[in-house]
Structure 1
Amino acid sequence: MPDDTATLGLPEPPGPAPERYGVPVARCGGTGPAYAALDLGTNNCRLLVGAPAGGGFRVVDSFSRIVRLGEGLAATGRLSDAAMDRAVAALAACSEKLARRPVRHFQAVATEACRRAGNGPAFLARVEAETGLRPRIISAREEAELAMESCSPLLEDQDRRALLFDIGGGSTEIAWIRVPGAPRQGQVPAELIGYVSMPLGVVTLAERVGASCFTQEGFAAVVEEVAEHLRRFDRVHCIGQEIRAGGVRLIGTSGTVTTLAGVALALPRYRRPLVDGRVLDIEVADQALGDLFALGRAGLAAHPCVGPERVDFVLPGCAVYAAIRRVWPVPTLTVADRGLREGMLLRMIRADRLQGRYGSSRRYGL
């Protein structure tokens, strides 16, 4: 499954290759000051615990569970009782993990589902009462900034601009990034020029278009719908013109993109260290998309990089990717298996470094 953790919320066993978040790092024990970040999205609940290492961090613990918090939201404008129950159960598991491990700083955020739901604030009050966790609803801009933060180490000094996209459950964020100057301490500074958040994510599209995305006609209709949103953003920032001038890196961070990479690499089982940071020729990514489409529902459910829990979401996500590919024909795609959690951890660690304090660890939320 395209995530950095096992599907039942248990940490992935250590592999021979190191995990990389800005610097070569490896999975570790509980020594040293730890930081924790939680991302409650429209489809997933994810927790990541890391300890500083060089210019980045090493993974201490992690958790991921599909909760489908945004199920039915587009039709009703509210989070359903069943969806909230699933999310609270996952958050309770995260709370138990954190209670067993002292951390120096902890941050939790909620994204599109809680932004849009009329009962979003009431749900988060319930979360705090039942789990002790206090997720903060972040704006689409902050979501784009955190994704940029986590993906900045993938930029190189020859890049003038970067186009970063994150295909989420309830929305898709596009960030247009300036890369000024040369690398500093192994990382290239990045600046957000502009961003757009489209209310078109894998869950919202799957609920609206349903089985039609498994047909050529239905898939093409979604591609064109998304492409029209992208063209409006392109007209504001003249991104196509910049691409023609060269030096623009296309970076994708989402389950859709990591799935494409897993298929392109013919992985018998999804492995993050083999995918994160991988640069694919765009023709290779296109072929992987075609291979996924040809599998059909049964084939997708059986595929080791998809699975039955994600079978309804893969092709809507691929349609969003295909629209990005149509509007912005960049020759390569950089795959990023990193996102909001990694961005939050890097921010917390950097803030402590700037203040010269790593002090003793403390329990989360205190």
Structure 2
Amino acid sequence: MTGPSDEPRAAAREPCGPEGLRDGAEDRDKSGDRPKAVSSGPAHGAPGGRGKAAEGGSNAAARRRRQGKHPAYGALDLGTNNCRLLVARPSRRGFVVIDAFSRIIRLGEGVSHSGRLSDVAMDRTIRALMVCRDKMQRRGVERSRLISTEACRIAENSDEFIARVHDYTGLELEIVSQETEARLAVSGCASLLDPACDGALIFDIGGGSSELIWLDLSERSHNWRASVYDRLEAQNCISAWTSLPVGVVTLAEKFGGCHVTPDIYEAMVADVSRQLETFEKANGLREKVANGNSHLLGTSGTVTTIAGIKLDLPAYDRKRVDGCWLKSGEVREVSKLLVGMTFEQRVAQPCVGADRADLVLAGCAILEAIMRLWPCERLRVADRGLREGMLATMMAEDGFRDTRRRRKRRRASSNPSHSPD
């Protein structure tokens, strides 16, 4: 674990998918049994909602404080398709991840048609959340933020689901707005922005929605590093943003995801392109991208999957994918390859697998629509996002700073001839 948001080494051994670390016993659970509710109150003092300390693991937390160690933070992103958790501690370079979890739960399955979260999807999700709760307890998490996004924003029974989660796990989920989701995405991947560029279009292709954010990098007050404060400052460069009510789950449910012909794929691209036009007309980003020094930055399973295939990885390796650069032609080359595959061939692809084989082409179609409207030669791949944004926010609020910058400023104050950047 060397970088500010590196996943544990076990992630590199995961056979498919951009989020590697899983709990094997839980992932093998195929039973239809309903999760059992806790008898009363939070389950074993599980970490709660935003800003709450964990009662479970409090002895371990107290022991770490006596030893002078930084506290553990938890960040959970419950999306339409995935449940993801990071546990991290502040470090010299921002933070170091000490535990992680990711599982496809498809919470929003069918919600675009029915308007409701199904009992099966809610039970599936609660089982994953129980694993997250236990991980945070074992790590002695003292502060956490647990958010849910588009599926819970649009489902008419989301309040019932939030209450059920609390009853069964003791966790308190926070349904965040589209703007909050966009801002967290920016902070989560800010350290991957090219400092030599004048602008960047960040996009996050989710399960039920897709966020796009244009950053005017000329608004930077200084050269960014990896500190949590720099990650938050990146939000000041947001010039325009939007959230489209389309993601890989909703698009696949509309057009089908298992058997996708080239014609169906083009219909997907056209559908997304129509939804992007309003954002383009309001902000004129096409001209800015064409005339300026800018790049795309994608934070989603779609771009990490494409990168893994382009790199010809026998198994997904986050260390090779996160932060890598792709050319637009390379992205289209992989998308064309996937369109030409059968469903079974996509399942056999080690960076796709059975969990994503019916969704990956919907993601490729959304990305293709973005690249057609805003042609840009370079795309940077981010295997990071909302969770990293939450961690940076909480640590900054608690006053953790980049120790390298503090030392540099102390040297500058003692040496007037030295001017820190």
The TM-score normalised by the length of structure 2 is 0.77
Question: Does structure 1 retain, via aligned residues, the 8 Å contact 2:21–2:100?
Answer: no
Classify 1:129/1:276 alpha carbon distance in 2 versus 1 (closer, same or farther; 3 Å).
same
1:162 aligns with 2:208: no
- Offset from partner CA, 1:170-194 (integer Å, 9 cap, x none): 1111111121234144557422222
Distance in 2 between residues matched to 1:218 and 1:7, nearest whole Å:
33
Query: Percent identical across equivalent pairs?
Result: 45
* Alpha-carbon distance in 2 for matches of 1:184, 1:323: 31
Aligned to 2:405: none
Match of 1:275 in 2: 321
TM-aligned CA deviation for residue 229 of structure 1:
1.5
1:3 aligns to what? 18
Secondary structure of the structure 2 residue equivalent to 1:89: helix
Task: Give the corresponding residue for 1:229.
Answer: 275
Structure 2 unaligned spans of 5+: 1-15, 26-63, 403-421
Alignment match of 1:247 (pick from 293, 299, 307): 293
> Which residue of the partner structure matches residue 29 of structure 2?
none
**Partner Cα separation in structure 2 for residue 2 and residue 252 of structure 1:** 16
Corresponding residue for residue 357 of structure 2: 311
Hey, what does 1:265 align to over in structure 2? 311
Residue of 187, 200, 206 corresponding to 2:252: 206
Match of 2:175 among 129, 137, 144: 137
1:196 aligns with 2:236: no
The corresponding residue for 2:76 is 38
Write the distance in 2 (CA, Å) between the matches of 1:34 and 1:9: 23
Letter in 2 for 1:147: A
The residue type paired with residue 345 of structure 2 is G
1:142 CA drift (Å): 0.6
Q: CA deviation at 1:354?
A: 5.8
In structure 1, C-alpha distance between the alignment counterparts of 2:400 and 2:284, rounded to whole Å: 36
Larger radius of gyration: 2
Counterpart-to-counterpart distance in 2, 1:213 and 1:239: 34
Deviation at 1:200, TM superposition (A): 0.9
Matched with 1:120 is 158
Shift, 1:101, TM fit? 2.0
CA distance in structure 1 between the partners assigned to 2:346 and 2:22 by the alignment: 17
Q: Is the 8 A contact 1:9 1:63 kept in 2?
A: no
- Whether contact under 8 Å (2:205, 2:211) holds in the other structure is yes
Name 2:223's counterpart in structure 1.
Answer: 183
1:313-328 alignment to 2 at 5 Å?
313-328=359-374
Contact 1:213 1:219 in 2 (8 A): no
Cα gap change, 1:319 to 1:185, in 2 (>3 Å) = closer
Preserved contact between residue 90 and residue 400 of structure 2 (Cα < 8 Å): no
In the alignment, is residue 332 of structure 1 matched against residue 347 of structure 2?
Answer: no
**2:225, 2:106 → 1: CA distance?**
39
Contact 2:191 2:225 in 1 (8 A): no
Match of 1:80 in 2: 118
Native 8 Å contact 1:300 1:307 kept in 2 = yes
Q: CA RMSD in A?
A: 2.0
Match of 2:185 among 113, 126, 147: 147
Contact 1:223-1:322 at 8 Å conserved across structures:
yes
Aligned equivalents of 2:117 and 2:302: distance in 1?
Answer: 24
User: 2:376 & 2:304 partners in 1: Cα distance?
Assistant: 18
1:238-275 Cα deviation digits (max 9, x unpaired): 10111122221200111111001001111111011101
Q: Secondary structure at the match of 2:340?
A: helix
Instruction: Find 2:333's aligned residue among 284, 287, 292.
Output: 287
Answer whether contact 1:212 1:218 (CA < 8 A) is retained: no
2:92 to 18, 40, 54: 54
Contact 1:212/1:219 (8 A) holds in 2: no
Instruction: Give the superposition deviation at 1:213.
Output: 6.3
Q: Tell me how far 1:32 sits from its aligned partner.
A: 3.2
Task: Give the SS at the match of 1:277.
Answer: coil
Q: How many angstroms apart in 2 are the aligned matches of 1:5 and 1:211?
A: 23
SS in 2 for 1:300: helix
- Partner of 1:295: helix, strand, or coil? coil
The equivalent of 1:171 in structure 2 is: 209
